[in-house]
Amino acid sequence: MKLHVHFQTKDFKVDEVIKGDSAEAVVAGMQKRVAQELGFLAGTVVRSMSPLAFAQEATRRYNSALGDNAPVPQSCEQFLKYGLEKNFATELPDDPA
Protein backbone atom coordinates (compact mmCIF):
# COMPACT_ATOMS: atom_id res chain seq x y z
CA MET A 1 0.00 0.00 0.00
CA LYS A 2 1.35 3.40 -0.95
CA LEU A 3 -0.23 6.78 -0.20
CA HIS A 4 0.74 10.34 -0.95
CA VAL A 5 -0.12 12.12 2.29
CA HIS A 6 -0.61 15.86 1.98
CA PHE A 7 -1.97 18.14 4.65
CA GLN A 8 -1.01 21.34 6.39
CA THR A 9 -1.82 22.89 9.73
CA LYS A 10 -0.68 26.19 11.14
CA ASP A 11 2.19 24.33 12.83
CA PHE A 12 3.54 22.07 10.09
CA LYS A 13 3.15 20.61 6.63
CA VAL A 14 3.31 16.98 5.51
CA ASP A 15 3.69 16.24 1.81
CA GLU A 16 5.26 12.88 1.17
CA VAL A 17 4.73 9.32 0.04
CA ILE A 18 4.31 6.73 2.78
CA LYS A 19 4.44 3.00 2.08
CA GLY A 20 3.46 0.05 4.22
CA ASP A 21 2.35 -3.56 4.03
CA SER A 22 -0.88 -2.74 5.88
CA ALA A 23 -3.07 0.18 6.88
CA GLU A 24 -1.49 0.06 10.34
CA ALA A 25 2.01 0.33 8.85
CA VAL A 26 0.97 3.33 6.74
CA VAL A 27 -0.57 5.08 9.76
CA ALA A 28 2.62 4.32 11.73
CA GLY A 29 4.56 6.05 8.94
CA MET A 30 2.31 9.10 9.21
CA GLN A 31 2.72 9.04 12.97
CA LYS A 32 6.50 8.97 12.68
CA ARG A 33 6.47 11.89 10.25
CA VAL A 34 4.20 14.00 12.48
CA ALA A 35 6.32 13.19 15.55
CA GLN A 36 9.40 14.51 13.73
CA GLU A 37 7.66 17.84 13.17
CA LEU A 38 6.50 18.24 16.75
CA GLY A 39 9.84 18.36 18.49
CA PHE A 40 11.16 16.37 21.39
CA LEU A 41 8.42 16.54 24.04
CA ALA A 42 5.28 16.43 21.92
CA GLY A 43 6.99 14.03 19.50
CA THR A 44 7.74 11.65 22.35
CA VAL A 45 4.06 11.57 23.29
CA VAL A 46 3.05 10.90 19.66
CA ARG A 47 5.64 8.14 19.29
CA SER A 48 4.36 6.43 22.44
CA MET A 49 0.86 5.97 20.95
CA SER A 50 -0.29 2.95 19.01
CA PRO A 51 -1.05 3.72 15.35
CA LEU A 52 -4.78 3.45 16.07
CA ALA A 53 -4.54 5.79 19.07
CA PHE A 54 -2.65 8.26 16.86
CA ALA A 55 -5.36 8.02 14.16
CA GLN A 56 -8.07 8.60 16.77
CA GLU A 57 -6.30 11.61 18.28
CA ALA A 58 -5.58 13.07 14.85
CA THR A 59 -9.29 12.80 14.01
CA ARG A 60 -10.33 14.44 17.29
CA ARG A 61 -7.92 17.31 16.69
CA TYR A 62 -9.08 17.70 13.09
CA ASN A 63 -12.71 17.83 14.25
CA SER A 64 -11.86 20.40 16.91
CA ALA A 65 -9.79 22.62 14.63
CA LEU A 66 -12.20 22.61 11.70
CA GLY A 67 -15.52 22.13 13.44
CA ASP A 68 -16.06 18.86 11.60
CA ASN A 69 -17.80 15.80 13.01
CA ALA A 70 -15.81 12.98 11.44
CA PRO A 71 -16.34 9.74 13.36
CA VAL A 72 -13.39 8.64 15.46
CA PRO A 73 -11.95 5.67 13.56
CA GLN A 74 -12.10 2.22 15.09
CA SER A 75 -9.37 0.91 12.81
CA CYS A 76 -6.43 2.21 10.82
CA GLU A 77 -8.31 1.17 7.67
CA GLN A 78 -11.17 3.53 8.59
CA PHE A 79 -8.71 6.36 9.19
CA LEU A 80 -7.08 5.89 5.78
CA LYS A 81 -10.45 5.65 4.06
CA TYR A 82 -11.44 8.94 5.67
CA GLY A 83 -8.17 10.55 4.55
CA LEU A 84 -8.81 9.41 0.98
CA GLU A 85 -12.39 10.72 1.09
CA LYS A 86 -11.26 14.11 2.44
CA ASN A 87 -8.33 14.28 -0.01
CA PHE A 88 -5.63 14.35 2.69
CA ALA A 89 -4.23 11.25 1.04
CA THR A 90 -4.08 9.90 -2.48
CA GLU A 91 -3.60 6.21 -3.17
CA LEU A 92 -0.69 5.48 -5.49
CA PRO A 93 0.04 2.31 -7.41
CA ASP A 94 2.38 -0.06 -5.63
CA ASP A 95 5.87 -0.41 -7.06
CA PRO A 96 6.22 -3.37 -9.42
CA ALA A 97 7.85 -6.38 -7.78
- Give the residue extent of every domain in the chain: 2-92
Between residues 76 and 96, which one has the greater pLDDT? 76
CB 54 within 8 A of CB 31: yes
User: Which stretches within the chain are classed as H helix?
Assistant: 23-38, 40-48, 51-66, 76-85
In terms of C-beta density within 10 A (0-12 exposed, 13-18 middle, 19 or more buried), how is residue 6 classed?
middle
Q: Residue 6 pLDDT more than 70?
A: yes
Mean residue pLDDT across the chain: 89
pLDDT higher than 70, residue 97: no
Q: Is the pLDDT of residue 19 over 90?
A: yes
Tens digits of per-residue pLDDT, 22-58?
A: 999 999 999 998 888 888 888 899 999 999 999 999 8
Distance CA 30, CA 49 (A): 12
Closest CA to 44 of 62, 56, 61, 31: 31
